[in-house]
Amino acid sequence: MDFLLVLLALVMGFLLHAAWQLTRTGKRHAGGRIPSKSRITIEGRPASPPAERKRRLQWISVSELRSILARNDDLVVIDLRSDGHRAAFPISSAQVLPVRTHELEEVLRWLPDDRSAAFYGASGLCVSIIESSGCTRGRAPLYVLKPERESTEAA
């Protein structure tokens, strides 16, 4: 019986100590860290975050890609065509990375901010994944190749 009273006193002491700590220090967050406040300007309005540079997403033809490859040797060409539609790439000198649609987000996370990329065979879904991903932050341009039938009709 004395053991149970001592145990009850220990539990009550622990609970009272925890309650006292919470009221003394305020609400604790994950890991005991206090969340950071947003920056405040002199006028008292929240400061806007620094503007991030958005990459340009340009639609280009195969002939425009040839001229870009001639000037830029570190261009990453990503082939997004499905396996059934993969014929030879129109430019034999280009180093092409074949990527399936479900792998695209992971490849875009890997893409450096200062590296240009050209997307070949991009569907509407692929273009929306590219536009909504974090790869649009950076300084190097991104290119989407127009379907061959569109670029031949325009010529």
| Tens-place pLDDT, residues 48-80 | 555 556 777 889 998 898 898 888 877 888 888
**What pTM, to 2 d.p., does this model score?**
0.59
* Cβ-based neighbour number of residue 135 at 10 Å: 24
| DSSP-derived pairing of the beta strands 76-79 and 142-145 | unpaired
Sequence-distant (≥ 6) Cβ neighbours of residue 114 within 8 angstroms: 138, 139, 140
Write down the pLDDT at residue 68: 87
- Would you state the pLDDT for residue 59? 92
State the pLDDT confidence band at 138, using cuts at 50, 70 and 90.
confident
Confidence at residue 144, expressed as pLDDT on a 0 to 100 scale: 92
pLDDT of 133 over the 60 cut:
yes
Average pLDDT over residues 98-111: 87
Average pLDDT over residues 130-151: 77
Cα separation values, 147 from 6, 90, 120, Å: 80, 12, 8
Residue 90's nearest CA partner among 130, 70, 61 is 61
The token pair at 105 is 């987000």
Residue 5: pLDDT over 70 = yes
